[in-house]
Amino acid sequence: AQSVSQHNHHVILSEAASLELGCNYSYGGTVNLFWYVQYPGQHLQLLLKYFSGDPLVKGIKGFEAEFIKSKFSFNLRKPSVQWSDTAEYFCAVFYNTNAGKSTFGDGTTLTVKP
């Protein structure tokens, strides 16, 4: 079965620290990759996405992610986090064999201390 693994369930950082959240997916051929974010009390929204081309993609609010096909990974990074980045982050993978649905990871809760 296709699966998505997020390595960290809860990450606590101080402001200005660098962030890297891991995401690995099971082998499944061609994939589209997403990171979604859910700020406290708000709905899930897209942070960034990879379909093809440059494996380093940039999203909103200074986030970026790198697709490494050989490692089946799509890690999320930010060089300097802010208190407002406190949120839950979900990695999602769309496998082109999956008739329109994506598989989500379990989520990583990020707490940024001011």
Partner 1 sequence: DVKVTQSSRYLVKRTGEKVFLECVQDMDHENMFWYRQDPGLGLRLIYFSYDVKMKEKGDIPEGYSVSREKKERFSLILESASTNQTSMYLCASSLGAGQGYEQYFGPGTRLTVT
Q: Helix-strand-coil percent breakdown of the chain, rounded to 5? A: 10, 55, 40
Task: Please answer whether residues 55 and 66 qualify as being in contact, where contact means their C-beta atoms are separated by less than 8 angstroms.
Answer: yes
Does residue 69 bind partner 1 (CB under 8 A)?
no
Q: How many whole angstroms from its chain centre is CA 44?
A: 12
Of 76, 90, 110, 112, which one interacts with partner 1 (CB under 8 A)? 90
Does residue 45 bind partner 1 (CB under 8 A)?
yes
Does residue 107 bind partner 1 (CB under 8 A)?
yes
Of 11, 49, 62, 64, which one interacts with partner 1 (CB under 8 A)? 49
E strand map for 51-86: 56-58, 64-68, 73-78
- List the interface residues with partner 1, window 10-39 (CB under 8 A): 32, 34, 36
Of 43, 53, 69, 114, which one interacts with partner 1 (CB under 8 A)? 43
